């Protein structure tokens, strides 16, 4: 494959985009797939690392080049090295911390442009979040974001940590409660405690385009405040 002499505009944004493409392809084959993918740009080619329980391999280079050709007619083919470890389990993180500045709540912020010139020789790597499949903790993180967004919007606190145990029980922690801790936890439990799967399904994340988050183009389903009346009835 030809060296991509003109492909000098890739950066962390591009790496995140590619991780999204790969995870989408894995989920198209199996919506319940477990995966954590990392994409790294190293000046002249992409290296794809990570783990997945999928046994279905595919041509990642073809996937990436086909996408970039669809948005840029002048695109030159890029070399891609697939180092993904297939047919492996992935340990899911189930504890998340949020405040008002959390990146999942950014809308219409100034983000890094995919056309920004890359510093020659500098490697760029995708963020963990974009390389996660939904069942590898992303849907739990986004449900936690929805709970946190309600809690922060109601001014119960300015920082909150949410953990989910193997039985889908919620554990809420904050050092900065504005309201009584017991009251806050009771409201959260009443709105979300026994409805984790229901609330996840309501967000319809399998059909959400995560490039919108990458480009800070809301609205986001985890920022829908459909329980806010319950939070503000004091």
Residue 103 confidence (pLDDT): 84
Question: Can you spell out the DSSP letters for 2-61?
Answer: ---TT-----HHHHHHHHHHHHHHHHHH-TT--EEEEEEE-SSEEEEEEEES------HH
> 6 in a domain, yes or no?
no
Residue 6 has pLDDT above 60, yes or no: no
Return the pLDDT at 169. 85
From 123, 133, 115, select the one nearest 30 (Cα to Cα).
133
- Among 26-40, 119-133, 172-186, 199-213, the minimum mean pLDDT is found in 119-133
pLDDT at 47 over 50: yes
Q: Please, is 173 exposed, middle or buried when counting C-beta atoms within 10 Å of its C-beta (0-12, 13-18, 19+)?
A: middle
- Residue 131 near residue 19 (C-beta atoms within 8 A): yes
DSSP string of 126-169?
--TGGGB-GGGTHHHHHHHHHHHHHHHHTTS-SEEEEEE-TT--
First to last CA, the chain: 65
d(CA 173, CA 184): 10
Instruction: Say what the pLDDT of residue 119 is.
Output: 61
Instruction: Indicate whether 2 belongs to any domain.
Output: no
Cα Dmax for the chain: 65
Specify whether the CB–CB gap between 152 and 98 falls below 8 A. Answer: yes
What pLDDT score does 4 carry? 39
**Rounded mean pLDDT, 173-193:** 95
Share of the chain above pLDDT 70, in %: 89
Reference 114, options 77, 72, 76, 82; nearest CA is 72
pLDDT at 166 over 80: no
Give the pLDDT confidence score for residue 120 in this predicted structure: 62
Strand 45-52 and strand 95-99: the pairing is unpaired
- 37 domain-assigned: yes
- On whether residue 134 sits in a domain, the answer given is yes
Quote the pLDDT of residue 14: 94
Residue 100 tokens, joined = 């008002």
- When the pLDDT of each residue in the chain is averaged and rounded to a whole number, the result is 88
Domain count, the chain: 1
In-domain check, residue 74: yes
In a domain, 7, yes or no: no
The verdict on residue 205 lying in a domain is yes
User: Tokens in use for 138?
Assistant: 């992303």
The answer, yes or no, to whether residue 234 has pLDDT greater than 90, is: no
Stated pTM of the model:
0.86
Domain with residue 160: its CATH number is 3.30.300.10
- Domain with 110, as residue range(s), is 12-232
Cα angle for residues 66, 67, 69 (degrees, 5° grid): 65
Is the pLDDT confidence value at 117 over 70? no
| pLDDT value for 102 | 86
Q: What is the pLDDT of residues 72-106, one digit of tens each?
A: 888 889 999 999 999 998 777 778 898 888 888 86
pLDDT at 90: 73
Q: Is 145 within the bounds of a domain? A: yes
């Amino acid at each position: 494959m030809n060296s991509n002499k003109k492909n000098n505009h890739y950066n962390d944004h591009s790496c995140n985009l590619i991780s999204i493409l790969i995870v989408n392809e894995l989920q198209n084959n199996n919506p319940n797939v477990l995966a954590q993918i990392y994409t790294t740009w190293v000046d002249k080619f992409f290296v794809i690392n990570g783990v997945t329980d999928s046994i279905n391999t595919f041509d990642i280079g073809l996937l990436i080049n086909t996408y970039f050709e669809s948005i840029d007619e002048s695109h030159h083919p890029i070399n891609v090295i697939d180092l993904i470890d297939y047919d492996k389990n992935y340990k899911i993180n189930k504890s998340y911390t949020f405040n008002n500045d959390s990146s999942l709540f950014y809308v219409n912020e100034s983000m890094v442009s995919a056309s920004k010139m890359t510093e020659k020789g500098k490697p760029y790597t995708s963020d963990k979040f974009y390389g996660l499949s939904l069942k590898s903790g992303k849907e739990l993180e986004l449900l936690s974001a929805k709970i946190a967004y309600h809690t922060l919007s109601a001014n119960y606190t300015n920082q909150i940590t949410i953990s989910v145990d193997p039985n889908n029980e919620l554990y809420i922690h904050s050092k900065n409660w504005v309201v009584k801790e017991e009251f806050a936890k009771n409201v959260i439990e009443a709105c979300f405690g026994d409805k984790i799967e229901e609330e996840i399904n309501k967000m319809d994340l399998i059909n959400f385009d995560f490039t919108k988050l990458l480009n800070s183009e809301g609205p986001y389903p985890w920022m829908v405040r459909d329980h806010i009346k319950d939070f503000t009835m004091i």
